[in-house]
Every structure is written in C-alpha cells, then in structure tokens.
Structure 1
Amino acid sequence: MSLFYAIRNFFRGPGSPAREPGLQSGQPGGYSTDSAAEVNFDTAMQISAVWAAARIISESIGSLPFHLYKSGPEGREEATEHPLHRVLTSRPNQYQSPVEFWESMALNLTVSGNAYAIIQRTGRRIVGLLPVSSAQVETELLQDGTVIHKYTNGADVKVYSSDSMWHVKLFGNGIVGMSPLSYARQSIGIAIASDNRVSKMYSNGAKPSGVLSIDKTLTPEQRAAIRKNFSQMSEGNDDRLFVLEAGMQYHQVSMTPQDIQLLDSRRFQIEDIGRFLGVPSILLNQTFGQSSLGSNVFEIMQGFYKLNLRPYLEKFEAAILRWLIDEDGYEARFDFDALLRADLKSRMEGYRIAINSGQMTPNEARQAEGRRALDGGNQLLVQGAMVPIDMAGQAPTPRGTQDDEA
C-alpha cells in the first residue's frame, strides 16, 4: 500500500492529505527509508519519552473537571437536566469513571490522531460512550459523502455510521486526523534501536567484541579450543581474568557507547519525540542544558498548557456540540482554570480586585476556594474611596446634611 501511495503522491504533488472516496488513512503516503526498528503502539510505548508524553497529556486532560452548561436569559447554568450531562460528568459507560474515560480518549487522540467511542442509546437518548482502540477502527468515505467506521473485534467486523460512533480527530484531511505515531516513525525507531543496542551491550556485561591474533598457524582443533576458551572475553557477564600466551593479542573492533555518542543520541531522541507530541523536554525529566529555575519552569508549563493542551480540549468541546447534542444553546467546557490555578497569594489578590470592582461577590470567592457561603456575602461591592484630588484629606460630608441646610 505504501508503494501505491508513494506513486500517487509523486504525480499529485505537494499539498494537504487527500480527501478522496474510500478508506481514509492518517499515515504518511510513504517513507524515504526503513525505520531503524519496528514501530507500533506497543514498541513505541516502551520508550520512556513516548510513555511520559502520552501520560502527561492524557492524565492532564482526565484530571480536569468537565461541565455542560445551558445558556439562558440570566446567563449560563449547569445543564443537569440534559441526559448527556450524566454521561460526560458521572457515568460514561459501565466500565469507566469520567477520569478514565477522558484519559482513554486523550491517549488515542495523542498517539494515533483519532479517538473513537461507540454511542450507546436508548431510543434517541444517549446513555453511554464506550471508547475503542483507534487501531481497531477504519474510517471510510463513501461516494455520496457519507462517513462510516468499521470496527474490528477479533473476527467480528461491525460498521457504524457517524451517528453511532463519536469521532474526535487531530488536523488532517477533515475525515481522519494525521497520526503522530506514524509520522514520528523514524525518530521513535531510532530510540527503539538505541534502547535495544544498550540492552544487548549490558546483557553482555558491556564487553566489546574483538579479534584474537596469534603469530603462528593453528590447526582446526587448536582454533576451536581457543575460540571456546576465550569466548567469554567478549560475551557473557563473567569478569574473570584471562591470560594470553604464545604471543596472543586481543584487539577491540566494536565501538564503545562513547565512540558512537550513544548517550547523546538517546538524549536528543527525548527532545525529538517531545517535539512531535508537543511536550517540552523539561516535562519529560530532560533537564540537560536547560534552566531548572522555578520561574522558567512555570512559564514553560504555562506555554505547554496553552499551546498543547488547550487545542486538545477545544477539539473535544467542539466535537461534543457538533455530534452529541442536537439542540442549540448548550456549551461544553473543561475547567481549564483548574489547571492554571495560581498560588494562594496570587489567588487572594485576584479575588480582592474582583470583589472591589464589583465583578465577584465575597461568597463567589469563598466558593471558588471550597469554603461555605456566609450570610450577607452575596452582595456585590464596589470600592468607593476615590474622591476628587482637591477634597483629599477632608472629612466626608454626612449624607443628608446639605439637604437639611437647604
């Protein structure tokens, strides 16, 4: 299939991924070279950088509170009466909690560029959303413009319409999203090959291979005996002392990790994989050559939240309104402020400004901090200490005094 895509792409020329009737693919049309190692979900997730990046994105999204709002004349309020509210905030399906549900969806979206969930209905009412592995789903565009999803489970293949399968996707051709795992195949393959090389070296006691030279001709029997006796010099974990005799010399022929800069290469792969998945390398515990000062890390994390996590959240929010809710006037929203929650001093200063300017009541500030409301705390207040400069320092005139004098 890759040869077909390569030939087609050659004649079509550059441009965005094609959107033509038939099976849709989020993978590259072809690769310039073979990867250094086999790359699939299981092998990729054994690379610490891939695991860490996927975990950070998935768990961060799963930890955010989700709200479904209904807009009304007095503003928006929680849409608790809508059946989808219970599904998305409390019981998405019979197997998962809301946190586990959003983690599953985010993991598939992060790795494959597409997240799918079977829509479970009772009549027209949605009663559940069951995530399925994106590797088991094939999306196809029919000639009439209809999109269907083929879900393979063992020998069983089921076909779902867009009304029965919820599909969230990254950027792509509009039908399917482009797969980060597939497009990062070369970088992840190098990381897998590097790990395999290091594992083999350490399972061999980190002993390099070499050549044993002797200054005379050996008989086949002598050659076999020497090979047997000295094989442990370059193989196995035995560190015993070997004695060379009769003019024998050992010459190392393989490169050490330092010779091939294996450690530097593995360090670069962390940055490269983080670049594909949009996670700063400092969040992958890669601090080499970077400042680890608190203020610098805080700004890096702020940028990660806004430039990486925010687009993921907006894709989920928009997909909910587009495919799961038929009525207008609803708003799906992750509580992103919970992720950007400031320290106590900054929060208190923000509340003070909001209360003094009449934008927030004291009870709203208390509830935001998880504290109970107090009597008289629902009144909006405004700072009234500002006076004309020529009246600064003068005692305020009691209300009603001028009217009494008149």
Structure 2
Amino acid sequence: MGLFDRLRGARAPAAPAARIEPTVSGGPTGEDTPSGVQTPEAWLVTSYGRASSAGVRVNEGSALSLSAVMQALRVLTGVFAMTPLVYYRRTGNGGKERATGSPRYTLFHDRPNGFQTPFAFKELLLADICLAGRFAGFISRDYRQDPTVLTRLDPRGLGVNFHFDRQTGIEPFYDATLPDGTRDRFSADQVWHIPGFTRDGLTGIDPITYMREVLGGALATTEYANRFWANDAKPNVVLTSPNKIPREAKQEIKGDWDGRFAGAARAHGTAVLDQDLKPTFLSHDNEKAQHLETRIFQVSEVARALGVPPHLLFELSRSTNNNIEHQSLEFVIYHMMPHYTRVAEAATLAFAEPGCFYEFLPDALLKGDSKSRWEAYKAARELGALNVDEIRAAENRNAIGGAAGTAYLWPLNFYVAGTERPKSAGGAPKD
C-alpha cells in the first residue's frame, strides 16, 4: 500500500452508527378527540362529523355554511394575518432591534414558502387552530439548519406521539402525511406544531366536536327556515266537509288542490270548491314562534364560542356608538392577544436563536380615533417621552431626522426630585 493509499484510508469516514429509536408512546385518545386520526373510523368521524341532538350532522364544511361562523373566521384570521410577526434581537441595554438580516426574520415577515404570502400563511394558520384545534407545518432547512420554508400539513391527519425521559421530560414525535402523499414519523425539529386550547399539553381539543350542539342547533334552524320559505311561507290548508268522502275521492281532491295551488308559481290563486268543502287555514305566527329571536341568539352563541364580539358579526341589537369602540378594544386585548402570544411563543421556541424572539405588533389595532391619538402624542411629546421621529414612525410616516426629529423636550417647570432647582438667566430659581 502506497503513501496516498494510507492517507485515503486514514480519512475514510467511519460507518454511521445505528439509529436507536426511542420508546414512543401514543398520544391520548378519546371518543371526541381522536389522536392523529390514524384509524379508518377516526377518519370518517373527522370527514363527516357526528350528528347533533337536532339531527344535523356537524363537521367543518357544515359549520362553515353558517354565515356567523364564516364571518367570525374572516374577522379572526384576517385581523391575525394583517398583524406583523417580527423577529427581534435583544440589545445590551435591555432593548431590542429587528434582526432583518436573519432568514428567521424573512420566514414570517416576507416569505414563508414559495407560493404563499405572509398574510395567506398566517390566515391559514389561525383557521386551522380555530377549526381543528391545532396547526402543523413541515420545516425545510438549509445546510446551516436555518428554517427557510414552512409547508402547511393537514392538522386532522397529524398523529402526536411522545417519548418520556425522567431527565429531559417529554420529547414529541409526529406521524404526518406530506403533500406528496408520503407518510412518516418526524421529530420536533421537522414539524412545527401549535396546539390550541389543550387539556394534555400535546393535542388541542377539536372545537367543531365540542361545539357540535351549538352549531347543530343553528344549522337545524337554518334548514327549517329554508324549508319554510321554499313552501312560499304558505300555511297548511285543511279541507273539511259535513259529508263523508270516500278515500279515493280524498286523494283526488288533495291532488287537485295541490296541482292547482301548491308551489310558488301557483300561489295566491282563486279556489272554487264544491261538495260543501270549506278551507281552514292553519296559520303560523313567526313572531309568536320567535324565529327571528332564535336566529339572533344563535349568532350570539357562535360569537361566544369563537371569541368574537357580536357587533363584528353584524349583530347590533345591543350595541351603541359609544360602546362599540370599547368592544373593539376588548376584542384585541382579550381575544386576539392570546392568539398572538400563543403563536409568537411557539415560533420563538421552535426557531429563535439565543438572545432572539418573535413578537406580533398589534399597535395599529390599539390606536384610538384621530383626536384622542394626537392628544396622547402631544402629552408624550411635552413630557419628553417621545420625539417627533418616534411619533411619525407610529403614524407610518418617514423620519425628518436631525435635531428637529430626534430631540426630546423637557418641561421648564420640571426638575429632578432631591436636586437643586434650576436657575434662570438672572440667577433666580425658575418657576
């Protein structure tokens, strides 16, 4: 063996070590919360849903046929998607700066994948959490292991499993089907999983399943109203006679009546009766039946279930011009902020480098009306809390720069407690 042969042999890579699979336990299962929908029965339940006590089958498709559900999702996902998700780097003085040069910044701010805008991706993300109880995305990485592409996975086809170690705790694994049809088991650094409201920390509960009765009642009421109006809202008619009418004659009279007067095209015609027949109209009072009140209440039920103020679903029976602004502010604080925090912290846990973090910027949603906003700016400017450029940045305007833009004002009648009062040019203490 020559010298070069010896050198090549010394640099030959060692044989790869055998992969040791950890002991994996299946996720929690239950009648209403199938874990991973890995069985045919679970797939059927997921796809077709279960019937509510009103006799209506409830699944994602039927739920979306309700206008209140569709509008609630448009509001939730639209507001969430238009809020920027920014990647920050902590600075030495306890502040923060945008890490614009990092691919982790680009991932959510500019380009999550090759075919979706950040708005479309975030809209789909929250829709999955609201309808399926969780979001799952496959993470593509470059040679430096930086995340470069996020591809949404079907959340209802995701199986959540885990390995438990007494030293390191739970390590999750995911059984998922990729868009190309292949199914495999993936580790946590390959699948970005965000559970919604959860009772076990691993899988989010399925909102459609737990809201089945609420949604089923709304669907049943809608179907009833559609059938009622499809009959031209005509009350049923009973034809009575003091004479005994044979069975065959009854069928003939009924068929003749329906043929002449049933259906929208033949409604409101003139009936000419013989054989002492007298019509009795069985009237239906919608006001006494409270159909409209029932449907309004169900809009409130959907709003309550999905966490949207009723006025955003155009249910304005109890709204006024004075309280709508406060309700909109409460919507951002109590309903959107939990979604922002959940996703931002999940992104930080999965992607952020040491000393960095993700944060949503809902500042535009928290702005008041123009008069109140500029009064607040004026007070902050006079107290030295904001300079002109910071105010202009908050209003999405370019900085003017120089001392005029960066200087902070300091009120002349203010001075630091415990220090000597500043003196005027003449030597007297300033007022």
TM-score per shorter chain, which class?
0.7 to 0.9
Answering whether residue 295 of structure 2 is matched by residue 266 of structure 1, we say: yes
Find the counterpart in structure 1 of residue 209 from structure 2: 182
> Distance between the aligned counterparts of 2:80 and 2:257, measured in 1?
56
1:231–1:158: structure 2 CA closer, same or farther, 3 Å change rule? farther
Aligned twin of 2:104: 84
SS in structure 1 of the partner of residue 323 of structure 2: helix
Q: Which residue in 1 is equivalent to 2:69? A: 50
- How many aligned positions are there? 372
RMSD between aligned residues: 2.9
Contact 1:53/1:279 (8 A) holds in 2: yes
Q: 1:220 to 1:308 in 2, by over 3 A?
A: same
**329-338 vs 252-261, which moves further:** 252-261
Residue 349 of structure 1: how far off its partner (Å): 2.3
Deviations 1:213-256 (A, max 9, x none): 33333345423321211125784212122223222233455855
Aligned partner letter, 2:364: A
**One of 126, 132, 136 as aligned partner of 1:112:** 132
In structure 2, the CA distance between the partners of 1:157 and 1:250, relative to structure 1 (3 Å rule), is farther
Match of 1:339 in 2: 365
The 3 A distance-change label for structure 1 pair 254 and 66 is same
Partners of 2:30 and 2:118 in 1: CA distance: 29
Relative to structure 1, the CA distance from residue 24 to residue 104 in structure 2 (aligned partners, 3 Å threshold; closer, same or farther) is farther
What residue in structure 2 maps to residue 130 of structure 1?
A: 151
Identity level (%) = 25
In structure 1, distance between residues paired with 2:130 and 2:412 = 51
Deviations 1:171-192 (A, max 9, x none): 2121111222221110110111
* 2: CA distance, partners of 1:353 / 1:251: 74
Q: Which segments of 5 or more consecutive residues in structure 1 lack a partner in the other structure?
A: 1-19, 389-395
Using the TM superposition, give the Cα deviation of residue 329 of structure 1 relative to its aligned residue in structure 2, in angstroms.
1.2
| Contact kept? 1:141, 1:147, Cα under 8 Å | yes
In structure 2, how many angstroms separate the alpha carbons of the residues matched to 1:154 and 1:362? 53
Instruction: Specify the SS of the correspondent of 1:101.
Output: helix
1:292 aligned residue: 320
* 1:254–1:118 CA distance, 2 compared to 1 (3 A): farther
Quick one: distance in 1 between partners of 2:302 and 2:164? 37
Partners of 1:204 and 1:196 lie apart in 2 by 13
Distance verdict in 2 for CA 1:247–1:162, change over 3 Å: farther
Gapped regions of structure 2 (runs ≥ 5): 1-24, 35-49, 417-422
Report the secondary structure of 1:339's partner residue. Answer: helix
1:103 aligns with 2:108: no
User: Following the alignment from structure 1 to structure 2, what is the Cα–Cα distance between the partners of residues 277 and 25?
Assistant: 23
Question: Equivalent residue for 2:45?
Answer: none
1:213 pairs with 227, 236, 240, which one? 240
Tell me which residue corresponds to 2:420: none
Equivalent residue for 1:249? 278
Structure 1 residues 22, 373: closer, same or farther in 2, change over 3 A? same
Deviations 1:22-74 (A, max 9, x none): 35569469x99634311111111111111111111100011112211100114
More displaced stretch, 350-359 vs 379-388: 379-388
**Structure 1: how far apart are the matches of 2:348 and 2:240?**
75
Matches for 1:135-284 after TM superposition, within 5 Å = 135-141=156-162, 145-152=170-177, 156-172=182-198, 173-231=200-258, 235-237=262-264, 238-239=266-267, 240-252=269-281, 255-284=284-313
Equivalent position amino acid for 2:76 in 1: I
Deviates more, 1:50-59 or 1:116-125: 116-125
**Mapped partners of 1:51, 1:82: distance in 2:** 36
> What amino acid is aligned across from residue 271 of structure 1 in structure 2?
S
CA distance in 1, matches of 2:105, 2:30: 33
Write the letter of the residue equivalent to 1:160: F
Q: Which moved more, 1:153-162 or 1:126-135?
A: 153-162
Deviates more, 1:376-385 or 1:232-241: 232-241
Pair 1:210–1:159, CA change in 2 (3 A): farther
Distance in 1, matches of 2:347 and 2:196, equals 15
Amino acid at match of 1:345: K
- In structure 2, C-alpha distance between the alignment counterparts of 1:213 and 1:155, rounded to whole Å: 66
Q: Residue deviations 1:187-226, cap 9 Å, x none?
A: 1101111111111111111123343333333345423321
> Residues 387, 155 of structure 1: CA spacing in aligned structure 2 closer, same or farther, 3 A cutoff?
closer
After TM superposition, the score normalised by the length of structure 2 is 0.78
Task: From the superposition, tell whether residues 257 and 159 of structure 1 become closer, same or farther in structure 2 (CA, over 3 Å).
Answer: farther
Structure 1 position 334, deviation (Å): 0.9
Pairwise CA distance, 1:92: 0.6
Shift of 1:83: 1.2
1:12 is matched with none
Aligned partners of 1:233 and 1:319: how far apart in 2?
Answer: 66
1:380 and 2:408 are equivalent in the alignment: yes
C-alpha displacement at 1:336, in angstroms?
Answer: 1.5
Q: Show CA shifts across 1:302-348 (max 9, x none).
A: 111111000010001110111222x3211211112111112222222
CA deviation profile, 1:278-298 (whole Å, cap 9, x unmatched): 11212211112x1322x2111
Bigger Cα displacement from structure 2, 85-94 vs 212-221: 212-221
1:22, 1:28 → 2: CA distance? Answer: 10
Q: Trace 1:291-370 onto structure 2 (pairs within 5 A).
A: 291-293=319-321, 295-325=322-352, 327-369=353-395, 370=397
CA deviations over 1:95-138 (Å, ceiling 9, x no partner): 21111111111111122221222212223121111223423333
